[in-house]
Amino acid sequence: MMERISFSPLSRLAICGGTHGNEMTGVYLVRALQEQKVNQKGSVSITTVLSNPPAVDACRRYKDTDLNRCFTDDLLSAPITDSTPYELRRAHELNAQLGPKGSREAVDLLCDIHNTTANMGICLIIYSFDWIALHIYKYIQSKATSVPVRAIYLDTPSSEAYSLESVGKHGIAIEVGPQPNGVLRADIFNMVKEAVDLVIEWLQKFNSGSAFEGGEVEAYTTVRPVDYPRDPTTNDITAAIHPELQDNDFKLLRSGDPVFQSFSGETVKHEGEDLYPMFVNECAYYEKKIAFHLTKKITLTLPTISMKNDMDS
């Protein structure tokens, strides 16, 4: 028999943008929600946060260090000193405002909006066994028809999760592309607005007592990152993503398929098991020495969920 799990009402939603200051969809969606004074929709109270204002002002990913790597338990409990980078200070502020992470006071759901230069459509990043986040993914996938909706499933303990969305009791990063850094595309903006509206709609249904039937969903789980070919002396990259791989995130890569084209014209091929690429030619990953990630597709079986009522407690 299908498992059934009940949860307390999910009344407090945080929507964050500008965690990376040059990813414009979240920046402008948060500003628009603030402009329109959206702070309550039915049973759902909404907090909107521009996560990294100095990076937004400079239109850069970050000022001193990547804010979206600062939310592990260790970093959030480290003392702040005069030499603490700006983003780590800001992480402590955000944790105080939206968390504290792992506590009863944390927001019920934290949605953090990101962009990628990769052709990934809408991709929800979800931590393992967050049934709420996985059910919201299932709901968005069934309702959003204009673009593929996929999930990346991270099997990381909450204490080691480094992203902002890990501060909420439940968390989803909404990763959408392709969009260049520093550019705002209306089509991407409209997709993300629709996804956020569907999150709110789901929470309202949940809070009104609807049960959400279990079932199977597909997700991608990371296997390994792949770096660009590099010159052994200068460490400069010596090849670009091959045109046949470019824009083909989540298209199965088989042994022998081209992955890189060197500047002198040679093709480098994929070797080994068949895997799904993602974050192909993501701008911010050049400095992280990642040309793309390889993933496996997995199937997850979700339990039926509903709100805890008085008789459950």
Map the footprint of a second copy across residues 1-30, applying CB under 8 A.
28
Q: Is 184 in the site for a second copy (CB under 8 A)?
A: yes
Contact 300/286 with Cβ under 8 angstroms? Answer: no
Q: Is 241 in the site for a second copy (CB under 8 A)?
A: yes
Map the footprint of a second copy across residues 28-87, applying CB under 8 A.
28, 31-32, 35-36, 59
Contact 106/161 with Cβ under 8 angstroms? Answer: no
Q: Is 246 in the site for a second copy (CB under 8 A)?
A: yes
SS (H, E, C) 65-85: CCHHHCCCHHHHHCCCCCCCC
Q: Quote the CA–CA distance of 96 and 98 in Å, as a whole number.
A: 6
Half-sphere exposure (CA, 13 Å, Cβ side) for 218? 11
Please pick, from the candidates 40, 42, 160, 182, the single residue that binds a second copy as defined by CB under 8 A: 182
Q: Is 269 in the site for a second copy (CB under 8 A)?
A: no
Q: Is 186 in the site for a second copy (CB under 8 A)?
A: yes
If the CB atoms of residues 62 and 189 are measured against a second copy, the closer one turns out to be 189
Residue whose structure tokens are 């603030």 = 34
Minimum CB separation of residue 32 from a second copy in Å reads: 4
Pairing of strands 12-17, 109-115: parallel
Stretch that binds a second copy, among 62-70, 124-132, 183-191, 269-277 (CB under 8 A): 183-191
CA pseudo-torsion sign 141, 146, 152, 157: negative
Minimum CB separation of residue 189 from a second copy in Å reads: 6
Q: Is 181 in the site for a second copy (CB under 8 A)?
A: yes
Phi-psi region of 282 (alpha: psi -120 to 50; beta: other; left: phi over 0): beta
Q: Which residues pair with 17 in a beta bridge?
A: 50
How many chain residues touch a second copy (CB under 8 A)? 33
Please pick, from the candidates 145, 264, 299, 313, the single residue that binds a second copy as defined by CB under 8 A: 264
Q: Is 129 in the site for a second copy (CB under 8 A)?
A: no
Q: Is 266 in the site for a second copy (CB under 8 A)?
A: no
Minimum CB separation of residue 184 from a second copy in Å reads: 5
Residue whose structure tokens are 């230069």 = 117
Show Cβ contacts of residue 24 under 8 Å, excluding neighbours closer than 6 positions. 115, 179, 181, 182, 183, 184
Binding site for a second copy (CB under 8 A): 28, 31-32, 35-36, 59, 117, 178-187, 189-190, 236-237, 240-243, 246, 261, 263-264, 281, 283-284, 286
